[in-house]
Amino acid sequence: MAKEKIIMENTSPNRVYLRAVEPEDYLTSYRWRSDFEALRYETHRYVSKETERKWVLKIIEEHETGKSVRLAICLKENNQLIGYIHLSDIDYQNRSCEIHTLIGNKEHQGGGFGTEARNMILRYAFLELGMERVRSRIIANNAGAIKSGLKSGYTYEGTLRKAVFQGGQFVDVLLFSILKEEFLQKFNG
């Protein structure tokens, strides 16, 4: 594991670490997008390798220019890329942003890896970036993501009714958020 690639690693016994997204990561996420079951809660699924490569290069640029924080989620045990986590729509004036988490590797979904990564990036958002509020949108039928968000201290704020077309039907999107004071109270700063 190259030390210079590690962006955030909590000293707690997490099984994952976060690192900068690398150009070659598109090969892994391209495989995820070809697995309908693994990405059943995502709105964008099948893409060409070239489209995925361009997307990865775009998120690297956004990260490097400070428009967003876009990181890879990797297993500590073998450095395997299993997902991505992003802070986007960063508003430094109002000190808020949105978080997106994707565990694209099907074998690691539902195992708490997304929760671990989210808690690390929330700590970064609140303590390093100075955010006051972090919000999240979760598709209503994604029970695992809802449970994970609640474990991280999310508060339900409302529903965007029939906001996403998925699997041949419109589904609701649930709005959640967590405030800095709530995060610090839950995780003892």
Query: Model pTM?
Result: 0.85
Q: What is the pLDDT of residues 63-88, one digit of tens each?
A: 898 889 999 999 999 999 999 999 99
The CB-side HSE value for 112 (13 A sphere, CA atoms) comes to 4
Give me the residue spans of the domains in the chain: 3-187
Distance (Å) of CA 117 to CA 54, 100, 126, 165, 169: 24, 11, 14, 27, 31
Residue 53 pLDDT class (50, 70, 90 cuts): very high
Using a pLDDT cut of 70, give the percent of the chain over it.
86
Q: What is the pLDDT of residues 97-156, one digit of tens each?
A: 999 998 887 788 889 999 999 999 999 999 999 999 999 999 998 888 899 899 999 999
pLDDT at 14: 86
Q: Is the pLDDT of residue 187 over 90?
A: no
> What is the CATH code of the structural domain delimited by 3-187?
3.40.630.30
Average pLDDT of the chain, as a whole number: 86
Strand stretches in the chain, DSSP E: 6-8, 16-20, 69-75, 81-91, 96-103, 133-139, 155-166, 169-179
Q: Is the pLDDT of residue 9 over 70?
A: no
